[in-house]
Every structure is written in C-alpha cells, then in structure tokens.
Amino acid sequence: MFSQQDEQISLFYFDHMMINPGFAGNKNAVCANAIVRNQWLGFGANGEAAVSTQLFSVNAPVNLFGMKHGLGLTIKNDKLALLSNTALNLAYAYNTNVSQGNLGIGFDIGFQNRKVDPTGFTTSEVDNILPSQAVSDMIFDLGIGAFYKTDNLFLGISGKHLNFGEANYSTDIDFREKIVPQFYITGGYTYQLSNPLFEVQPAVFIKSGGAKSQVTYSTRVLYNKKLWGGVSYNHKVAIIAMFGMELPSGLTFAIAYDVPLAKIGTYGTPEIMIGYCFNLSVAKTTPSYKSVRFL
C-alpha cells in the first residue's frame, strides 16, 4: 500500500510557505495565511471529516547588511483517525535579484509531535500491532527549498523531512514510524488576455515521496487581480472547483471544493483560506512650513 504522510492541499497557490522555505520574504510585505481543510466530509465518525487539517504561516522580508533575507514561521495540525501530527518550523531564506525576478534559497528547522491515540477505536479482534493507549514522540525536522518569482512566473522546488526522522513510540511493543522525505515542484505562468482586466494562470503542483507521486494541474481566470475562479485536476484523485477574492480591507479569501474521482464515493472536501499582507515600511514625508514672507 502506498500513502502520504504530509497533508493534501488544493489551494497550493497560497501555501508556498508550508512546503518551500525558499518562499520566505519573497513578497515585499509581511504575509500571513491560514487554511482549514476537512477531507472527505461525512466519511468519519459522527459525520465528521476523515482527515482534518489546519495550517498557519507567516513570513516577512528582512534587510541586513545591504542584503535581502526572509524569515518565516509555519504551524501545522493534521489528524487522520487515530493518527495526528502537530508541527512547527522556522524558515530562513536568502533573496537575490535574478534576471527580472527574485530568487529565494532557504531552509527550515523545527519539530513534529506525532501521536497515535487508539481511544474510541474498537475492533472485533485484538490488534497486537497498535498500542493499547495514547503514545507520542517529538522528532526533529529539516527542509530546504528554492523559489523564483517574476511578475508573470513562479517556480519552486523543495524537499521536506530530509533528516529521515523516526517516531519511537515507547510501549510494550516495538512500534515506530519512519518519516519519509517529501519533494515538491510548483510552477505557474500568468497570461494577459486582450482585455487588460482579465488574466489566465495555469499552474502545476507535483509532490512525491519516492514510492508514489501525485500531479495536480490547475487553471485560474483572474479579473482585475481582485476576483478569480478556477478548476484543478488532481490526477485520478479529484476535480477541484476554486473561487477567491481580495476584499477592500486587504484580506484575501479563497475556497475550494474537491469532488472525488476514486471509490471514496460522494464524500467531498471543502477547504478555506484567509490571508493578509501588509507593509511595515513607513513612507517618508517631506517637511513643510508656512512663512509670512513666502505665501
């Protein structure tokens, strides 16, 4: 059986920080994003989602010694049945101008608190593989990445969990979980249509854990850079409808809904994102004065 250890995200346009530390500081502003995803809603116990995921990230540019840097923080909570994972990572990226865009090369370090809790799960037979009570372990985490962006193009490549961590759940049985490195490639390009208010942005998202890879193709149509809609195809997994807008307050809101193609049935997956960017720089003002001699 092949499966994934990292969370599945449909709104990857807004989730670069979670998968690529090279994205830190890419925008000349402090940016924060929060994503909530309930995968296969209704499939779990009591009509709940089979997988529940909450993500938060913030990153900011920093100028030191005449060079551009980026700092970032990501927090993740992911729960699948009796398995759960809470992770926190700090990211650093060095940013430099390359051709007509910005290239960020960075790394992140942090920890994962992985937990197995069989409480509430019953089987007709005794399972000697699972522990009889909740167990957890905290492990070190390491990732690297590079992200390049121009006005019309973005490209990213990254690797997460590169230290091959292992969760050792100390119980009366030898129960361990190996953390497999995950690799990501993202890319997209924005085409200006004949009507200057409309743009089309095709994109691709590739992720692989070595044994299994997954590709998502996506296309968005943007209106006046404030309103957009689109569709994605997660190969043999789901068709995804997306919609988003930037509100007058500066908040960005997006929603996606996965329609499954596999035998999971009619259990869809809603996903919501809220983001906000702001600039900390203070505009310089030229002092002025009035004089009775110069009116």
pTM confidence score: 0.88
d(CA 67, CA 272): 35
Asked if 130 and 122 count as a contact pair (C-beta separation under 8 A), the reply is no
Identify any residues that bridge with 223 across adjacent strands, giving them in sequence order.
198, 227
Q: Residues 50-59, buried b or exposed e (16+ Cβ, 10 A)? A: bbbbbbbbbb
For residue 239, the tally of other CB atoms under 10 A from its CB is: 13
- pLDDT tens, 30-42? 999 999 999 877 7
What is the rounded (10 degree) CA torsion for 245, 247, 248, 249? -150
- pLDDT tens, 252-279? 999 999 998 877 667 889 999 999 998 8
Asked if 87 and 111 count as a contact pair (C-beta separation under 8 A), the reply is yes
**What per-residue confidence (pLDDT) applies to 290?**
55
Asked if 271 and 40 count as a contact pair (C-beta separation under 8 A), the reply is no
Calculate what percentage of the chain has a pLDDT beyond 90. Answer: 61
Residue 225 has pLDDT above 50, yes or no: yes
Sorted by where each starts, the structural domains of the chain and their CATH numbers stand as 12-278 (2.40.160.60)
Pair type for strands 269-278 and 251-260 = antiparallel
